[in-house]
Amino acid sequence: MSVAINVKNVVKKFGNNVIIPGMSIDIKNGEFFTLLGPSGCGKTTLLRMIAGFNSIEGGEIYFDDKMINDMPAHKRNIGMVFQSYAIFPHMTVRENVEYGLKLRKISKAEIKEKVDNILDVVKISEYQERLPERLPERLSGGQQQRVALARAIVIHPSVLLMDEPLSNLDAKLRLEMRSAIRDIQKKVGITTVYVTHDQEEALAISDRIAVINKGVIQQLGKPHDIYARPSNQFVATFIGYSNLFKGKIKIEDNNKYVVFRNGYKVLMKNLSDEVKDNQEIIIAVRPEEFSISDEGIKVKVKTSTFLGKYNNYEIIVGEDEIVSDMPALEFSQDIGHAAVIYNVGDELTLKPNSEKINIFTENGAKSLIKGVEVYAE
């Protein structure tokens, strides 16, 4: 039976090196929950603590109301899917999937029923026969990943843990498998904790996401909320693309404005009450939040790269501010049925959407938009 997971102020150290200084997360029963962050941020370390593979130096982890800190890994009733698949090459597909059930010493009839069902759910029934060409090593990466997923789920674990399960697949297969994993998880209803560094993958499959950096949660929420309203500069630049500009707050007649360095003012109706006149800020604008206009920020095209469905532009703002850390603009302006393609050296005026842009403190540590929860400073 699926369980909720409660992580309370857990600490992980390797010697004197503190990997996780104290993290708390509540994962709901049946939820698809993703730990997202760059390499070395602590996401896999936390997953291994939940699994029982890593010790816990502080805090508590609960499955429902039962603390599992000292419970051996084999008694936690977890299913685990690894980056490397870890399927047995000398066994057929069916034998791989049966393995965990045989260890539990249940009847042959029940094993057959459970395996038949899960092979059908993960769509690999046709590969189960005892033939040389049906051995796992002869299967594609995506098919092997389905075998690993079936083996993890067939034992009816309380929790399914997945550690970068798609990182060894090519781009097209990753798209196919992430949809399959999402569909399968919803069918079986198991509480799932998924680790990835791929932002698009996390946005596509998760019910909620915890964005982690240096062992600290930067933001926790639904994919759309995290993308639309990042809690700090790290989240804004790690999840998708954000162009960053320096600016100031200007308060006139009880109205609050964001002023870009070139003097262009944007009336903001959703700024926090704590902002002050002339406060230095960082303005984050995603590519799709710009539009071509007669008023706004004057820019010059530095480079233009054709990427199929759109052109990618790197731009210069003013004389010295080059927006180049991330792809700066991804747009084409439709006029009738023709798209305008801009060339290197072209001058444009871009207008940011005041309802969608994000504003951060000068050091980037905190959002200044109303209603955005602060997780780390």
How many residues are listed for the chain in this entry?
377
Q: Which pLDDT score is estimated for 315? A: 82
| Each residue's pLDDT tens digit, 310-326 | 777 888 887 656 554 33
Q: What digits encode the pLDDT tens for the residues 145-179?
A: 888 888 998 988 999 999 998 887 888 888 888 88
As a whole number of Å, the CA-based R_g of the chain is: 25
Burial environment of residue 104 by CB neighbours within 10 A (0 to 12, 13 to 18, 19 or more)? exposed
Q: Please tell me the predicted confidence (pLDDT) of residue 143.
A: 84
Q: pLDDT at residue 125 above 90?
A: no
Q: Is residue 8 a contact partner of residue 59, using CB atoms and an 8 Å limit?
A: yes
CA angle 308–199–47, rounded 5-degree value: 150
Cβ 94 vs Cβ 48: under 8 Å: no
Q: Which domains, from first to last, does the chain contain?
A: 5-233 (3.40.50.300), 234-361 (no CATH)
Distance between CA atoms of residues 135 and 88, nearest Å: 9
- pLDDT bin (cut points 50, 70, 90) of residue 134 is low
- Amino acid at the residue 203: L
Contact between 181 and 10 under an 8 Å Cβ cutoff? The reply is: no
SS (H, E, C) 263-316: CCEEEECCECCCCCCCCEEEEEECHHHEEEEEEEEEEEEEEEEECCCCEEEEEE
Burial of 300 (0-12, 13-18, 19+ CB in 10 A): middle
Q: What is the pLDDT of residues 80-104, one digit of tens each?
A: 998 877 788 888 888 888 888 888 8
Residues in CB range of 106: below 8 A, 6 or more apart: none
β-pair type (347-352, 243-252): unpaired
